[in-house]
Structure 1
Amino acid sequence: MVRGRTTAPAGLVLGHEITGEVIETGPDEYVLVPYADWNLLRFPDRDQALEKIMDLTMLSDILPTGFHGAVTAGVDSGIDAVGFEARGHGHGAQEAPATVLNSLMDLTTAGGSVGIPGLYVTGDPGAADEAARKGSLSLSLGTGWAKSLSFTTGQCPVMKYNRQLMMAILHDRIQIAKAVNAKAISLDDAPRGYAEFDAGAATKYVLDQRRHPTQQGCRRCHARG
């Protein structure tokens, strides 16, 4: 479900990048997503939106997720937006999915909160150890209890935040694309983008159909918009 690595139990309601059902239809630059129109966000001005389209693209994932973590964590807080793929430092470092959560419990002020929009799963065949494959992590829960910390977990309710975040972008209150080093790449460059991101590149890659290398002079691509 996440890069072909995780699974999902039957009957589980999923969100984030693993929501619902995707049906491939023809060439790989097009997919059909049933019922994808229920959470559309209308931009007030088309030209203004196009000028800030890279920032507005972040409304689909990174911006509302981080914002949700900050809102749910509060003031004296810590936010885990890393999730089950957290790793140690240095070359060849192994995955340590509980590292961020345990570090946050150490760092957060007593009586504070920890927001956890980072993705954690109930089944991960690609995990480093048997416990993590079942979603069981070695949490220092005693630390959290002793410091009277509160925790908020789960999927980000994007529709709760997307309009106010859109307006913040359009009124130059937020420059999220610059903050996360967003970069537009073509569909043909997608494998390279995924590989670099998995290797730790500090870049948010955005697939841009307009950058398709065969569009120039290609009647088929022009006909498809």
Structure 2
Amino acid sequence: MTGNRAIAYMGPKKLEIQNLDFPKLVDPRGNKCDHGVIIKLVTTNICGSDQHIYRGRFPAPSGMILGHENTGEVVEVGRDVLFIKKGDLVSVPFNVACGRCRNCREQHTEVCETTNPEVSCGAYGFNLGGWQGGQADYMMVPYADFQLLKFPDKAQAMAKIKDLTLLSDILPTGYHACVEARVGTGSTVYIAGAGPVGRCAAASARLLGASCIIVGDTNKERLALVKKAGYEVVDVSKKTPLPDQIEAILGKREVDCGVDCVGFEAHGHGPSAEDDPAAVLNALLEVVRAPAGIGAVGVYIAGDSQAKTKEAKQGFYDIEWGKQWVKSPSLTTGQCPVMKYNRGLMMAILWGRMDYLGEVMNVEVIPLEKAIEAYHVFDEGSPKKFVIDPHGSVRE
């Protein structure tokens, strides 16, 4: 059987391409996965969440294989798999979910109760249950009949693979944030963060019918990309306060809905602002009108060794809740239940309802050999979305 190249995390800013054994139908605790499959990766993306790990700010063990945004072709099928077949092209939700527990049955696959013995949350390529990631040639996926989204036509899917590869995480995540923020027809929305998740949120807000979509960031290249794609932008590194910048666009100092696509690595607002993990949440509480709907899909953790304060290292943040409570805010945070949205978004892509995705996402397809370099470039603030193509499957 063939080998398996994979991107391994070895410590902060240290990655290796390792040559591993071909994966087996076995879970991280050594149990047989007759309900699983082996897939040959067609695309596996570098995510902003991977950058948290890369920087050493999301705790992860040395040697962990990265990659939770995975799309591939099924090459081996377990004994108990009934509906997924060898040769199928599938999207892999980043949540590892059994489909059998109470939470999975209630469509909360982001908090599956069985796939991580330490907490109700399993994910590939994180320190969440020991499930190895898919920035590799091949990977094992358990509970295949439940988890995998099969593309109905392989040739049609490959023609739109740069968009469909986003279904494993960031497009459903951006969409979920907008849904939880109550974005709808005619809504005005402020999206914090112009990285790939923020850009997917902007595209999702357009699909949901928002009227004015404003994206904020400090990265001028990313803001320029978003502006060119037809969205409004604000630069939160400027001296001008955020409500003033929103008023200059909208004529009002508040929006209907707010989305957080930044998380704990946020900076405060202004030209000399330092790290402030509460900055985005406090800004959203300020600029979203009452009753305030906020979808916060940016990552927040306990265990950030590089946080500036003891409290922030432990995951305690200075949220202005008492000041903003009177606005009746609703704040939904946590990981996205990808399976709740991925099929609908797949159909929107296949039927041409999201053809504008490419312009705002700025995908660059790279071979596995260039992945470590791409991590460095992405870490420097590149406006690109890097998609790894281990086997040369994607035609430019």
Same fold (TM over 0.5): yes
- Of the structure 1 ranges 138-147 and 12-21, higher mean CA displacement relative to structure 2 is found in 12-21
Rounded to whole Å, the distance in 1 between the matches of 2:148 and 2:347 is 15
Alignment partner of 1:158 out of 338, 345, 349: 338
How far off its partner does 1:5 sit? 2.9
Q: State yes or no: 1:209 paired with 2:261.
A: no
State TM-score, norm by structure 1: 0.81
The answer on whether the counterparts of 1:73 and 1:79 sit within 8 Å (CA) in structure 2 is yes
| Map of 1:14 onto structure 2 | 121
**Letter aligned with residue 367 of structure 2:** S
The 1:182/1:89 distance shift into structure 2, 3 A limit, reads: farther
**Letter aligned with residue 64 of structure 1:** P
| Map of 2:367 onto structure 1 | 186
Residue aligned with 2:282, SS: helix
- Of the structure 1 ranges 65-74 and 79-88, higher mean CA displacement relative to structure 2 is found in 79-88
The 1:49/1:10 distance shift into structure 2, 3 A limit, reads: closer
The answer on whether the counterparts of 1:21 and 1:34 sit within 8 Å (CA) in structure 2 is no
Where does structure 1 differ by over 3 angstroms across 4 or more consecutive aligned residues?
A: 7-10, 28-34, 88-94
**Letter aligned with residue 7 of structure 1:** P
String of CA shifts for 1:154-203, please: whole Å, max 9, x gaps.
11010000000000000111132432212111212112211122222122
| Map of 1:218 onto structure 2 | none
Which stretches in structure 1 are left out of the alignment for 5+ residues?
213-225
How far off its partner does 1:90 sit? 8.3
The answer on whether the counterparts of 2:303 and 2:315 sit within 8 Å (CA) in structure 1 is yes
| Map of 2:317 onto structure 1 | 137
The answer on whether the counterparts of 2:269 and 2:279 sit within 8 Å (CA) in structure 1 is no
How far off its partner does 1:211 sit? 4.4
How far off its partner does 1:91 sit? 8.7
Rounded to whole Å, the distance in 2 between the matches of 1:133 and 1:146 is 29
Rounded to whole Å, the distance in 2 between the matches of 1:101 and 1:94 is 15
The answer on whether the counterparts of 1:58 and 1:177 sit within 8 Å (CA) in structure 2 is no
Q: State yes or no: 1:101 paired with 2:281.
A: yes
Rounded to whole Å, the distance in 2 between the matches of 1:197 and 1:109 is 34
Give the number of equivalent residue pairs.
209
Rounded to whole Å, the distance in 2 between the matches of 1:141 and 1:86 is 18
State TM-score, norm by structure 2: 0.48
The answer on whether the counterparts of 2:118 and 2:129 sit within 8 Å (CA) in structure 1 is no
Residue aligned with 2:341, SS: helix
Q: State yes or no: 1:147 paired with 2:147.
A: no
Higher helix share: 1
Rounded to whole Å, the distance in 2 between the matches of 1:136 and 1:11 is 21
Rounded to whole Å, the distance in 2 between the matches of 1:43 and 1:52 is 11
